[in-house]
A and B are shown apart, each in its own frame.
Chain A
Amino acid sequence: MTLTIDAALLDRHGLTAEEYERIVTAMGRTPNLTELGIYSVMWSEHCSYKSSKIHLKTLPTTGPRVVQGPGENAGAVDIGDGLAAVFKIESHNHPSFIEPYQGAATGVGGIIRDIFTMGARPIALLNSLRFGEPDTPLTRRIVSGVVSGIAGYGNSIGIPTIGGEVMFDDCYAGNPLVNVLCLGVAHVSEIVKGRADGVGNPVYYVGAKTGRDGIHGATMASAEFDESSSEKRPAVQVGDPFMEKLLLEACLEVMKNDALVGIQDMGAAGLTCSTSEMGARAGTGVEIDTALVPQRETGMTPYEIMLSESQERMLLVVTLGREHEIEAIFEKWDLHAVRIGTVIEEPILRVRHHGELVAEIPNGSLVDEAPLYDRPTQLPAYLGEAQSLDIASLGVPPAPVAALDALLASPNIASKRWIYRQYDHMVRTNTLTLPDAGTPCVRVKGTPRAVAMSVDGNGRYCYLDPREGARAAVAEAARNVACAGARPIGATNNLNFANPQRPEIMWQFVESVRGIGDACRALGIPITGGNVSLYNETEGRGIYPTPVLGVVGLIDDASRTVGGVIREAGLDVILLGTPAGDLGGSEYLRVMHGLVRGRPPRVDLDRERALCALLADAAHDGVVHAAQDASDGGLAIAMAECTFATGIGVDIDLPAPNQAHDAFLTLRALFGETAGVALVVAAHNGTGAVLARANDLGVPARVIGRTGGERLRLRVNGQVAIDEPVARCAATWRGALEARLGVA
């Protein structure tokens, strides 16, 4: 067959003419169609990180606890007792727009495979979701589908979805974000790598059969959407959580057997990616025959088999002569491991079909020699105007209670109960902090420890100042795990942006990565892996730049885990940090004035580090009853949220911010958003200890009131600004999301 490689064919494969020339040079000849397809998925943005890699390399990735940094299926950090927390975040944004249920479900399945592929038992899932405003039929369909998909997969496989964040903004209407973090626990000494070592060793395929679903999924995730995107539905894969449950249990059993050499899941770019990456890591090659691959459909071509992204498939390399040991374990689980190839000496990917050679490509050119772009950047034109905020132009300030009610009813702040109760958040009996009760935490059975996790990102902040917004995302996630009493020990990031070929978007990206680097270095939190999702735009309209940070923290004594719920009256409320009362980029400004403007709050990373240390130390001392950081909606919302679970009220006096003497002073104190601030409810007789610790660490701290009663009484500089029954506020907060989604 002669193949004419023309512009249209390259375009369908998402390759440029220059990239094609590189392929010809790397191969020393013209590729055939199968080879072109293989290059197209491996060199896609999704697999190669070609637009982002040079920037990602600037991130801090090392530290005393890092067991595995970026480059493997997931990162790992030491949590003591010979154990490691293995975790990563991954996006499934594009598929979730096209087919919300399956898109989200397979996103969950994919990240779970990345974790157990490392030899870790997955014990927790979190997610970070972004949708359009919840009133539209399109968004309601997407929300409902995505939540059901996450639930359908996670609940069935039996890994608890213990928390996350959900934000609604019109910019995500045509580009929802579905970022899923999975964390597992492995013995450090038993972490498994995706390497094809040992020339002559057999290569096995196990799991679901290969179908035509998901062909070019990776290239789809590397392109913008337009009106015809719904036609891409066949590129979305279908998930089978039962199959994955069998694979999970069987693989964890197989990994205890040293006949296993290496293992990798088939995620994006399927068989192509797993064969070439396993070979590249080991400096070997892999030869397979696609005719041996179990197939769901008849008449599949090698091109289709190599590019399929059918879910729930694994590739294994097994020690020659001990195949039966591995086969027997899979048989027990009614899975059939099939030998499809061999590890070879030449560092190439060689594909045969019924013995006939159909592709032969150097691994290095696929895995390590994809083009890298230093794409041009340009300061966005919108920025100057968007960053200016004239408070005087806001008119007459609303009554504080009106703003409180509106913010509690904002879907960004309202309880996500309708969502999280669809998720099994308790299976495996490790969940120490339930949803809406504080930062998600799971204990690590067999040890005295627990792990706290938080995923955070604020697209509004990043739109207004990507570097500051990214710093804020790291700081908020770190602060959240510190509120639980944990010391942050590692992070993973999911960088969601629009089209990087537009210089203004690339500028947002570069600035965000800088911000993450600043904050992670200052806070001593290494990035151990992550994911980049670009081209999040539909019909030319991009999302806010939305870097999402997942921070993992360690609690040495699980019994000292702190939540965010007031369970006792008569306790002191302590304000840590100095609120600046910024309204720039705030939820208040968006909800009450319909504006996304101004400069987001500045993060003082030294103060943030001291605050995190204080929160973890005080929790370890057992002097913290509850802790809550102030984020969307400021201190008023943070305080209110602590009262809802039990109905026990507070009476506190917030300081007015220093620099702002305008008509919005009270509103700034209540709803202004400040980094480096948290509220702590001291345990009985614990106030002195918290204040002393704060003094030692140089964190401003003062007692601002007490718990008790059934009212939310918030004063500003001594004047009562809000005095409402907790029950009424709680009812607003609890029912608002359902009402906005029309599911009440």
Chain B
Amino acid sequence: MKFAVVVFPGSNCDHDAYHAAKHVLGQEAEFVWHKDTDLRGADVVILPGGFSYGDYLRTGAIARYSPVMQAVAAFSATGGPVLGICNGFQVLLEAGLLEGAMLRNARLKFNCEHVHLRVEQTTTPFTARCAPGSVLRIPVAHGEGNYFADPVTLQRLEANGQVIFRYCTAAGEIADAANPNGSLHNIAGICNATRNVVGLMPHPERACETALGSADGLVMFESAIDYVTAGARA
């Protein structure tokens, strides 16, 4: 199966996602330039982290207009699994493929560290192999990851089970102290209504090898592989 990693000008975690898919998991992987309009038969699309267009406007606000995003939207509309990581999540929000918006971190500083995430839902292509309620240790690295949505949207996301990951303590408790950026409801990741598009601020691709401090992110890639190979995308 094949992962496509989209490269926007300013993407800087593209090589990391590619490395995880290709060298750690042994899958096919290909970079797709943002000016391309063809996803080259990819089974899974990853929008990687970074600073697309320098994030000089709002994060992700320019990248959403890249030609490739039409292909990503079409792919997701047919149920194709799409994962937006960090800046990729921000691009998905700006593109309207996910709901909500990002504010600057509550402490107003960029923040890079390992955090704990509780898996809230396992009914997505990227969490199917997780145990419900399990805790993953995965790094964050962002300055604008403070998730915000209006109360109506937030309630709908919660009611539909679209909140996929929440920041938590090592023991899995949802607490303010475990929230690295001030996100509403400790939200670290969400999915769309059809559950095939997932965005999260933490970086699972940085947590795929124990030598790097954690391999807890592997399960998300493995879930996607299962999803595709099992033909779950009907």
Residues of A within 8 A of B (CB): 148, 151-152, 155-158, 240-243, 245-246, 332-334, 420-429, 431-432, 434, 443, 445, 558-559
Contact = CB atoms under 8 A, between A and B. Distances in A.
B88 interface: no
Contact of A241 (B51, B113, B205, B208): B51
Nearest to B19: A429
A425 B112 contact: yes
A402 to B, nearest CB: 31
B109 A426 contact: no
Nearest to B111: A421
Sorting the interface of chain B by its residue count into under 10, 10 to 19, 20 to 34 or 35 or more gives 20 to 34
B223 interface: no
A416 B70 CA distance: 44
B148 interface: no
Given A158-B51, A429-B20, A558-B211, 20 more contacts: A151-B110, A152-B110, A155-B112, A155-B141, A158-B50, A241-B51, A241-B54, A242-B10, A242-B53, A421-B111, A422-B110, A422-B111, A423-B112, A426-B139, A426-B206, A427-B12, A427-B49, A429-B19, A429-B209, A432-B212
B67 interface: no
B141 A429 contact: no
Contacts of A445: 19
27 contacts: A148-B109, A152-B110, A155-B51, A155-B110, A156-B55, A157-B12, A241-B54, A242-B10, A242-B51, A242-B54, A245-B9, A245-B10, A246-B9, A422-B109, A422-B112, A424-B110, A426-B139, A427-B13, A427-B49, A428-B15, A428-B16, A429-B16, A429-B19, A429-B212, A443-B211, A445-B19, A558-B211
B109 to A, nearest CB: 5
A443 B163 CA distance: 35
A158 B12 contact: yes
Nearest to B55: A156
Contacts of A246: 9-10
Contacts of A151: 110
B132 interface: no
A160 to B, nearest CB: 9
For the residues of B in contact with A, the DSSP-based class is mixed
Contacts of A431: 212
B159 to A, nearest CB: 35
Listed residue (B13, B33, B110, B141) with the most chain A CB atoms within 10 angstroms of its CB? B110
A559 B212 CA distance: 11
B193 to A, nearest CB: 32
Contact of B212 (A148, A152, A420, A426): A426
9 smallest beta-carbon distances between A and B, as pairs: A158-B12, A242-B54, A156-B51, A424-B141, A429-B16, A424-B112, A422-B110, A421-B113, A151-B110
Given A333-B9, A421-B112, A432-B212, A240 B54 contact: yes
A423 B111 CA distance: 7
Nearest to B11: A158
Nearest to A155: B110
Interface string B8-38: 0110110110011000000000000100000
A444 B180 CA distance: 31
A192 to B, nearest CB: 21
A432 B15 CA distance: 17
Contact of B9 (A240, A334, A422, A425): A334
A443 B212 CA distance: 10
A157 B52 CA distance: 10
B219 to A, nearest CB: 17
B133 interface: no
A673 to B, nearest CB: 31
B213 interface: yes
Contacts of A432: 211-212
Contacts of B50: 158
A151 to B, nearest CB: 5
A181 B143 CA distance: 24
Most chain B beta-carbon neighbours within 10 Å: one of A241, A421, A422, A427:
A427
Contacts of B112: 155, 420-426
Given A156-B51, A240-B54, A422-B109, A434 B206 contact: no
